[in-house]
């Protein structure tokens, strides 16, 4: 039987390109698509597939934070092979994704041939990291440690990602089961570590450093 693949990305062109590439290959079959994290989680709760190809950050009511979304998927489908397709260029976030045990990491800037190689490698039972992603992950340890983002706790980084994605402090607190005071403190602490004085500086920093793509 062919390997069943589910696609999740909020950009229709990306989904179409990946689907076309998969349909050119033998041994794989696309069984569905999602354009939001909520649609993806709903499928994980009620459907099944052998391999998930997903973007890192997608719009959604409950799971728009990429790491939380991956954690939810792994909780629902611990044996599922996951290939993350992303524009991220931040080593800390890529390492966090990699450490969650995903089967593959491919950059959207890679040639589509990387996708073919990734699918073939994962189908053979091995993990796959594209050359561009590997270059970031294998950057000198000293450079990674000097990055201000490496000083953030996971919850601080999560709060910033959700805030920049459009959530208010109150919404983040309700969504994550924390007090507004705690979330506000985590945001202030994270911005202090990054040397950011206000929200416009935070938005600019996020986009300049490939932190939330």
pLDDT (tens digit, 9 = 90+) per residue, 71-126? 999 999 999 999 999 888 777 788 888 888 899 999 988 888 888 999 999 999 99
Q: Which pTM value belongs to this model?
A: 0.71
Domain 148-208 in the same topology as domain 3-137: no
Q: How confident is the model at residue 143 (pLDDT cuts 50, 70, 90)?
A: very low
> What integer best gives the mean pLDDT of the chain?
86
Q: Domain 3-137 is classified in which CATH homologous superfamily?
A: Response regulator (3.40.50.2300)
Long-range contacts of range 145-154, CB-CB < 8 Å, 24 or more positions apart? 147/90, 147/91, 147/92, 148/193, 148/194, 148/195, 149/90, 149/92, 149/93, 149/194, 149/209, 149/211, 150/92, 151/193, 152/92, 152/190, 152/193, 152/194, 153/186, 154/67, 154/96
CATH code for the domain defined by 148-208? 1.10.10.10
Tell me the domain boundaries of the chain: 3-137, 148-208
- Per-residue pLDDT at 142 exceeds 90: no
Question: What value does the mean pLDDT take over residues 34-61?
Answer: 91
């Amino acid at each position: 039987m062919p390997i069943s693949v589910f696609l999740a990305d909020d950009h229709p062109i990306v989904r179409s390109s990946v689907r076309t590439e998969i349909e050119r290959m033998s041994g794989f079959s696309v069984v569905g698509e999602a354009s939001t994290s909520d649609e993806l989680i709903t499928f994980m709760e009620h459907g099944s597939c052998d391999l998930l190809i997903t973007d890192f950050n997608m719009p959604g009511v409950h799971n728009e934070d990429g790491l939380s979304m991956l954690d939810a998927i792994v909780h629902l489908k611990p044996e599922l092979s996951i290939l993350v397709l992303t524009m991220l260029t931040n080593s800390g976030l890529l390492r966090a994704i990699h450490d969650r045990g995903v089967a593959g990491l491919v950059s959207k800037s890679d040639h589509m041939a990387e996708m073919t190689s990734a699918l073939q490698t994962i189908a053979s039972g091995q993990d796959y990291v594209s050359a561009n992603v590997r270059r970031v992950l294998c950057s000198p340890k000293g450079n990674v440690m000097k990055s201000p983002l490496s000083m953030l706790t996971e919850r601080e980084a999560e709060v910033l990602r959700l805030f920049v994605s459009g959530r208010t402090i109150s919404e983040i607190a309700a969504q994550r089961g924390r007090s507004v005071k705690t979330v506000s403190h985590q945001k202030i602490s994270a911005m202090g570590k990054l040397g950011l004085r206000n929200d416009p500086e935070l938005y600019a920093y996020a986009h300049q450093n490939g932190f939330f793509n």
